[in-house]
A = this chain, B = another copy of it.
């Protein structure tokens, strides 16, 4: 099911040993770092860097994150972080999945809900949607 999704972006990352904890596996919080890095690389690739958003006075904020942990990554593991983005009302929701390269195993799925603020107030985000035109999954 996951495999048939049309992802908009993917990035390959290798686990760094310091990202593992005493259990010998990647610490749970680091998946959030991987997801964040993938989102920022996606936004940059989509021509919508944080600098550009800031110029437009838009400050994106993470409002909610959900992660399901399926299989643990270990030191040196290569993985691919894939994502697509949907607009749900004022929310920009990133669906992000992490697959281990060696065997294709799904390691984690994330759903990251972001909203846009301008001068500290929630906005609809039409301007961001325009910038991301073509990168938002219907």
Q: Report A's interface with B, CB cutoff 8 A.
A: 16-18, 20-24, 27-30, 32-33, 36-37, 40, 44, 49-50, 59, 61-69, 75-76
Contacts and interface: CB of A to CB of B under 8 A. Distances in A.
- Looking at chain A's contact residues, the main secondary structure is mixed
Contacts of A20: 21-22
B22 A32 contact: no
A17 B29 CA distance: 12
Given A18-B29, A27-B36, A64-B66, 16 more contacts: A16-B37, A18-B21, A18-B27, A18-B33, A20-B21, A21-B21, A22-B22, A22-B24, A28-B32, A28-B65, A29-B30, A29-B36, A65-B65, A65-B66, A65-B67, A66-B66
A135 to B, nearest CB: 19
A65 B114 CA distance: 17
A18 B44 contact: no
A92 to B, nearest CB: 14
Nearest to A49: B76
